[in-house]
Amino acid sequence: MFRHVIKSIGLLVSVVVVVCGLYPAALWVIGQSAFPFQANGSMVAGPDGKLVGSLLIAQPFSKDEYFQPRPSAVSYDASASGSSSLAPSNYALRDRVARSLGPVARYGSGPQQGQAVGPDVERWFQADRFQGQPHLVAQWAQAHGSLAQAWVSASPAHGAYVDTWAKHNPQRVAAWVKDNPGTPQPKAADLAVPFFEAFSIAQPGRFPSDVSHPGADGKTVSTVEAVREGSDIQSVFFDMWRQDHPQADIAPVPADMVTTSGSGLDPDITLANALFQLERVAGAWARDTKRDAGPVRQEIADLLQQRAKAPLGGLAGEPMVNVLAINLELRKRYGQPAG
């Protein structure tokens, strides 16, 4: 019996040494000697030599000078990798896709072919009528209360904006409490719908949006203001505009521009997606470098073709472009973006 116990302990120790010691050590030596870049997370540095990210993990880019990655259901948080898991019947999915489409959609035919839809969405929004009825923002909040609440909860500034409104409109708050006796002390998000209803009447053709200003100390300060145009208008109200303009011919948009990946961290976009963004990116760099847009566009298009790679050496799948890598190449070639 004792002999069997000794043999079992010896076997356990041997397995632990091999599996938990020798095997990981061998992999570490091979990785650090033969594949150091990949073994250390495919980390890359910017022009100043500081690490800016990994080629394996997507990160957001907001400037027009840069290509943008696929939307992320986890806000590009590598510690929370995952998808939205929204069903096709869930309006939240339709709304998220529509918000991605609004700023990028273009007409597919007719005299406006190739032109952005966004300016027309803004003009339609300013007219403040949806399906023939006034107070467009109020209709949006009434039809999609969860989206209105999500707007309030998206930022402390939004919540403070609604709280300020509530202090100046105690009668409206009291009316809401009367209709919802189970919530005698409503929070800002609870008052989202009555807030937008009142806002729509007081400021027709406007929507509360984050606006950035330079502060006294030189830092950027963000405030909530009523706006008539901008990316928020194009994003939030594109779906309602589409319902009011069912005959408008919208050019097809690459699917990965508006759909998230399973992880929410896909670092690559299709070449078709990159070429769809090319006009915006090239135009921004042309303004920054004070050059003609045509040559800049051709330079970036050539760069995309050079950097695009399909899986299995091109034998399968779509040509893909790594967003961080291509943006670093643009920064290296054209310098610091303006502003």
In a domain, residue 181? The reply is: yes
Which amino acid type is present at position 284?
A
Q: Give me 31's structure tokens.
A: 């990785």
pLDDT score for 218: 65
In a domain, residue 18? The reply is: no
Q: How far is CA 152 from the centre of its chain?
A: 18
pTM to 2 decimal places: 0.80
Among residues 204, 223, 247, which one ends one of the domains? 204
Overall number of domains in the chain: 2
pLDDT score for 5: 82
Angle at 116 between CA 114 and CA 121, to 5 degrees: 140
Among residues 183, 204, 225, which one ends one of the domains? 204
> Which residues in the chain show pLDDT less than 70?
215-218
What are 197-207's pLDDT values in tens digits?
999 999 999 99
In a domain, residue 93? The reply is: no
Domain around 193: 135-204
| Cα gap 114→276, rounded to integer Å | 11
Residues 78 and 139 in one domain: no
**In the block, residue with structure tokens 């109020």:** 138
Which burial class, exposed, middle or buried, applies to 58 when counting CB atoms under 10 A from its CB (0-12, 13-18, 19+)? buried
- How much is the CA Rg of the chain, to the nearest whole Å? 26
pLDDT score for 38: 74
Which of 121, 92, 115, 156 has the alpha carbon at shortest distance from 235? Answer: 121
pLDDT score for 67: 96
In a domain, residue 35? The reply is: no
In a domain, residue 211? The reply is: no
Question: Cβ(106)–Cβ(279) under 8 Å?
Answer: no
In a domain, residue 291? The reply is: yes
pLDDT score for 8: 85
pLDDT score for 175: 95
pLDDT score for 82: 86
pLDDT score for 215: 66
| Cα gap 334→281, rounded to integer Å | 12
Residues 6+ apart with CB under 8 A from 134: 128, 204
Among residues 204, 228, 253, which one ends one of the domains? 204
In a domain, residue 178? The reply is: yes
| Cα gap 308→329, rounded to integer Å | 13
In a domain, residue 26? The reply is: no
Which of 224, 107, 83 has the alpha carbon at shortest distance from 158? Answer: 224
